[in-house]
Amino acid sequence: MGSSSNDDFSVVVLASDLGIDARPFLSNQDTEIEDQDNWHDCSQDFSDEDFSDLEFLQFFCLQGSDKSGNRILRIVGKYFPAPFVSGERLKRYIYHKICSELPEGSFCIVYMHSTVQKEDNSPGVTILRWIYEELPPEIKDRLQVIYFIHPGLRSRLVFATLGRFFLSGGLYWKIKYISRLQYLWEDIKKGEVEIPEFVQNHDDVLEHRPLTDYGIEPDPLHLTEVPNTAYSLGRYEERLTSREFMS
């Protein structure tokens, strides 16, 4: 007891929301154990793992190609149940999908951020960064571009201010923001990627109320959609006056 109290120790506090990679702060023993779990080999067998529940959700699936010939990995953020899927399982599922369905060739990611709720659908920037950094360089090089559809004000601010610090330089410059679906068709032909109905509906809302892009709802009660009654009231007053005159 006496000797242990004299040992030096340190405490490292990490901010969980800033995308900081904690692995450099781990002890050598922990790092060695982590390195032993080498899942980078695409030949690794994942057949023993059951991903049927995640497959059913269709939040991450392979579709067509963009105009540059890159295969499309479509990600629908709204379909992902973040509270029920751990970061480790998400990592293994993503790697399984890439290795089994897209073992070679360039690819792009079409990420649909429409109506995503942070608490329900987002695994967190830290986890996403960790998954990307864990991918082997060969897969990172094959990723050509990320089409980020319907980015909200929060997303834009986070990536604009902190993106260069917690994202690899190559990944940061691969993100292409798509505020409207009409701009996506400049890079991808219609029919190459399936657009869920709620994404199209959200796009229509943004088209008619563009300030919603910046978190501003100019007409929350939709008063502009109420028909103007000034003319009908005026005609009613005229008829009332006419009646009084005749009587």
Do residues 80 and 59 make contact, with C-beta atoms less than 8 angstroms apart?
yes
Q: Which of 66-75, 160-169, 174-183 has the lowest mean pLDDT?
A: 160-169
What mean pLDDT comes out for the span 186-199? Answer: 97
Alpha-carbon separation of residue 61 from 24, 130, 171, 198, 201 (angstroms)? 33, 20, 20, 18, 21
Average pLDDT of every residue of the chain: 76
Residue 92: per-residue pLDDT:
93
0.85 cut: is pTM over it?
no
In whole angstroms, give the CA distance from residue 15 to residue 17.
6
Condensed to tens digits (0 to 9), the pLDDT of residues 1-42 reads 544 445 554 444 444 343 444 443 344 434 333 443 454 555
49-218: CATH topology is Phosphatidylinositol Transfer Protein Sec14p (3.40.525)
**Extents of the domains making up the chain:** 49-218
Condensed to tens digits (0 to 9), the pLDDT of residues 133-157 reads 888 899 999 999 999 999 988 877 8
Residue 36: per-residue pLDDT:
39
Q: Does the pLDDT value for residue 159 go beyond 50?
A: yes
Q: Residue 62, Cα to own-chain centre: how many angstroms?
A: 16
Q: Give the model's confidence band at 201: pLDDT under 50 very low, under 70 low, under 90 confident, else very high.
A: very high
Condensed to tens digits (0 to 9), the pLDDT of residues 215-235 reads 666 555 444 444 444 444 454
% of residues, the chain, pLDDT over 90:
47
Maximum Cα–Cα distance across the chain: 111
